[in-house]
Structure 1
């Protein structure tokens, strides 16, 4: 039985991770640009799902869909895909493929069909699976997030408890190539509970890496309250990157509290100042157009963006109500004309990237960087 992987730009690291997990059990995922026999697998986010829904429904082969959108909306996706992998796929996908080949799929925990779904009862232990094999990917060092930001799918898919790959396993794969890059919901939370940093463990990790290290950059950003003299010293001493990427998300404390972000606007601005003073360029995420954002809230965000732009760079995008999140089903509010003008001016001046109007830029341009 041939198993194919539908090439989707935003799912390249998922291909590396799941390709490695399948390879360990004897399955090779062949990259394809259209569905092919016998089985074709898809990883879908909430933007790409619109592009591939009809293709999957009309495919002349067995189709398997997973990813954040499929996890949040498994009933919807199961209406046009044969099987839906809900949540983590390292264990579930190879087990499903074995069932398909044997013609006896049955009820596999973590796999949804039109007939229903039984959830898994455990989480993936990262050390049990390689981060990549023949398809190079970033090394995922941590999974899960203790925070519950209203717009974010991460805790919905991976849980609120943080899990970490061991230093020996991270080193084993990171040192295979000339650069070490990582995936994490918060790189500065490595080795910790996600709330109280363990910089000693991060230093132990960085000391064991032998090539160029990029730590705290996309797709392994950090949180602003974890940026301090100690964490910045680790970056300047051990790492190659001269930028640090973190999320402020709003300049309004009222919005941040309602989102359950766990930090203030002042902390985010202070983090940018600390980076600048340490000779590191802060690259700071902001979201505009939250459904409960007042004009005053939006102006506070614009003011914070302007303040941060004096110290570094801004990455901005329009709010998207992602399924499976507390804000699913809401609608983005309109932007003030002054907000659009400031974003445009900062972009023209080379201080801002992203898009405050086009949702797809968030998922398709940035993932290719």
Structure 2
């Protein structure tokens, strides 16, 4: 049986992880630009799924779809794909491929859903050290999974759970030896090693960073951003001492404490300003994410977020997003609010300076 991976640039890190996991079980997922072979595997987010829906439905091969959209909206995806892998795929996908290679149905495998078989309860959780970050196909190194916070717009805790689990320091250091520039994937870089994921463990963070090989180390910047309440003098000092990045990237999401509370963000506006002060004192440029379009925002809330944006750009940059209602989240059925004209114009002017990037009109 020949199984291939439908190459989608947005799913590069998923490909690296699942290529490595399947290789452990004897399956080599060669990349493909169109359906071919006997089995085609897809990893799909909510932006990509509409682009590949018709291709999956028309494929002559057996189709397997996973990823955040497939996990959250499995019934929709099972309408076009033969099998849907729900949640973490390192163990489920090789199990499914093994069944198909033996000429059996995979409908009863834990973590698999089908059009007629429904969804099967997952019987395992993935231990990150049980699988390499990558082998032949490289991606960013994943160092932690899961998130104890419950942001209403985010799929991460619904996909990977609310308990953070970490790859060991030894495994991360070994993987980093294969890179000139070491970059990581994690919901919150400064939560690495933390037992509850809610407060930084500075000792374990320093132990990790001090152990890294002699290469360019990027930590606390894309794609391993941090939360503002984790930006302290101690964590900022670690970045300055050990890392190549001169920026810290964190999510503020709103300039209104009311909106932050309603979205379940778990921090306050005061935490954001404290993080900005720490960055400035440490000589790190803050790069801050904000989101417009929450249905419970008022004009005053939008103006408060704009005021925050103006404060940030005095010494940093802001990346602006429009709320994207994602399946499986508390805001899945939300109707995004349009940005008021005055805020729209002000953001446009700031974008001309290069200090504001992104898109704040709902185009989902």
**TM-score, normalised to structure 2's length?**
0.97
1:231-262, CA deviations, whole angstroms, 9 ceiling, x for partnerless residues? 00000000000111100000000000011111
| Partner SS state of residue 283, structure 1 | strand
Deviation at 1:359, TM superposition (A): 4.5
The answer to whether the Cα contact below 8 Å between 2:323 and 2:362 also exists between their aligned partners in 1 is: no
| Partner SS state of residue 81, structure 1 | coil
1:42-65, CA deviations, whole angstroms, 9 ceiling, x for partnerless residues? 111111111000110001111100
The answer to whether the Cα contact below 8 Å between 1:269 and 1:307 also exists between their aligned partners in 2 is: no
Query: Residue in 2 aligned with 1:311?
Result: 315
The answer to whether the Cα contact below 8 Å between 1:164 and 1:190 also exists between their aligned partners in 2 is: yes
Paired residues in the alignment total 360
RMSD: 1.0
Query: Residue in 1 aligned with 2:111?
Result: 110
1:17 aligns with 2:17: yes
Query: Residue in 2 aligned with 1:322?
Result: 326
For residues 100 and 121 of structure 1, what CA distance do their matches in structure 2 show?
Answer: 20
| 2:186 corresponds to which of 177, 181, 184 | 184
Query: Residue in 2 aligned with 1:69?
Result: 69
| 1:197 corresponds to which of 188, 197, 200 | 200
Deviation at 1:279, TM superposition (A): 1.1
The answer to whether the Cα contact below 8 Å between 2:293 and 2:362 also exists between their aligned partners in 1 is: no
The answer to whether the Cα contact below 8 Å between 2:255 and 2:306 also exists between their aligned partners in 1 is: yes
Query: Residue in 1 aligned with 2:143?
Result: 141
1:307-334, CA deviations, whole angstroms, 9 ceiling, x for partnerless residues? 1111200011100110000111111011
For residues 279 and 324 of structure 1, what CA distance do their matches in structure 2 show?
Answer: 39
Deviation at 1:270, TM superposition (A): 2.3
**Structure 2: 5+ residue stretches without partners:** none
Query: Residue in 1 aligned with 2:162?
Result: 160
The answer to whether the Cα contact below 8 Å between 2:336 and 2:362 also exists between their aligned partners in 1 is: no
| Partner SS state of residue 113, structure 2 | strand
For residues 19 and 313 of structure 2, what CA distance do their matches in structure 1 show?
Answer: 40
Query: Residue in 2 aligned with 1:80?
Result: 80
The answer to whether the Cα contact below 8 Å between 1:190 and 1:197 also exists between their aligned partners in 2 is: yes
1:162-210, CA deviations, whole angstroms, 9 ceiling, x for partnerless residues? 0000000001101211111101100000000111210100100011111
Deviation at 1:273, TM superposition (A): 2.5
For residues 171 and 57 of structure 1, what CA distance do their matches in structure 2 show?
Answer: 42
For residues 155 and 14 of structure 2, what CA distance do their matches in structure 1 show?
Answer: 16
Query: Residue in 2 aligned with 1:364?
Result: none
1:232-311 aligned within 5 A? 232-311=236-315
1:31 aligns with 2:34: no
Query: Residue in 2 aligned with 1:208?
Result: 211
Query: Residue in 2 aligned with 1:367?
Result: none
For residues 118 and 330 of structure 1, what CA distance do their matches in structure 2 show?
Answer: 28
**TM-score, normalised to structure 1's length?**
0.96
The answer to whether the Cα contact below 8 Å between 2:338 and 2:361 also exists between their aligned partners in 1 is: no
1:226 aligns with 2:227: no
For residues 71 and 153 of structure 1, what CA distance do their matches in structure 2 show?
Answer: 10
For residues 142 and 110 of structure 1, what CA distance do their matches in structure 2 show?
Answer: 21
**Structure 1: 5+ residue stretches without partners:** 361-369
For residues 183 and 225 of structure 1, what CA distance do their matches in structure 2 show?
Answer: 19
| Partner SS state of residue 287, structure 1 | strand
The answer to whether the Cα contact below 8 Å between 1:144 and 1:159 also exists between their aligned partners in 2 is: yes
Deviation at 1:137, TM superposition (A): 1.0
Deviation at 1:358, TM superposition (A): 5.9
Query: Residue in 2 aligned with 1:95?
Result: 95
| Partner SS state of residue 183, structure 2 | strand
